[in-house]
């Protein structure tokens, strides 16, 4: 997929699951389970043991899955992730070097930001999206709405504290997508190796996003 294709798919599916697991095996299981549930996008944080190998394996085993790298904090690591097949790069905060590597290599970037200044800097650097993190801790959907008022041209992704009860509010506030972790991929479901549990949750989140977007469009 091209950078434009990946960007379009992220906006279409609008959910980016993060598999912040304590082992490579758990991360592989979680990623493939959520894809089976209808969300073929996954972020593999660099905190996962052997994260780059996990990215490489997921890309090889699941050619239709969009596999990205999370918590990418420097240019060297960014390049290693891209070489492993990562289709997008994201980070907890704004890392200009990481965005530069992504732009140069034709890979989607969604750096983290919190303040308006950080969001503007991230967008000006060439980022495809700006991930507002940690979103819920600073006001949740109301904060996204406040940012969108002066920054209507910046595509924002809400991350941190998104769940089934509040997900619609983020889209109604103007977010183009959301990042979700344990609320979509429960640790217990991974421990018990119950992919149907995760797949069911994925289906529920897809339904909620579709419904929220319908309301927003009308």
Catalytic residues: 43, 131
Where would I find the beta strands (DSSP E) of the chain?
Answer: 15-17, 41-45, 66-70, 88-90, 108-110, 112-113, 130-132, 156-159, 177-180
For every residue of 41-78, DSSP letters joined together read EEEEETTSTTHHHHHHHHHHH-TTSEEEEES--SHHHH
Where would I find the beta strands (DSSP E) of 62-215?
Answer: 66-70, 88-90, 108-110, 112-113, 130-132, 156-159, 177-180
Question: Are the CB atoms for 27 and 181 separated by under 8 Å?
Answer: no
Residue 58 CA, chain-centre distance (Å), reads 16
204 burial level (CB within 10 Å; 0-12, 13-18, 19+): middle
117-122: list long-range contacts, CB under 8 Å, 24+ apart: 118/93, 118/94, 119/147, 119/151, 119/154, 119/156, 120/151, 120/154, 121/94, 121/96, 122/94
């Amino acid at each position: 997929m091209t950078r434009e294709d990946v960007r379009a798919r992220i906006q279409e599916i609008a959910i980016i699951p993060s598999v912040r697991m304590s082992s490579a095996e758990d991360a592989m299981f979680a990623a493939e389970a959520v894809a089976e549930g209808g969300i073929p996008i996954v972020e593999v944080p660099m905190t996962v043991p052997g994260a780059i190998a996990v990215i490489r394996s997921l890309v090889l085993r699941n050619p239709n899955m969009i596999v990205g790298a999370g918590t990418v904090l420097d240019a060297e690591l960014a390049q290693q992730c891209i070489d492993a097949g990562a289709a997008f790069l994201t980070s907890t905060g704004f890392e200009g070097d990481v965005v530069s590597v992504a732009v140069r290599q034709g890979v989607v970037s969604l750096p983290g930001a919190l303040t308006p200044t950080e969001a503007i800097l991230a967008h000006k650097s060439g980022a495809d999206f700006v991930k507002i993190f940690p979103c819920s801790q600073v006001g949740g959907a109301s904060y996204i709405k406040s940012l969108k008022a002066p920054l209507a041209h910046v595509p924002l992704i809400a991350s941190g504290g998104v769940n089934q009860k509040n997900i619609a509010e983020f889209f109604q506030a103007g977010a183009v997508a959301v990042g979700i972790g344990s609320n979509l991929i429960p640790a217990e479901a991974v421990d018990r190796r119950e992919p149907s549990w995760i797949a069911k949750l994925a289906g529920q989140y897809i339904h909620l996003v579709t419904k929220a977007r319908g309301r927003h469009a009308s």
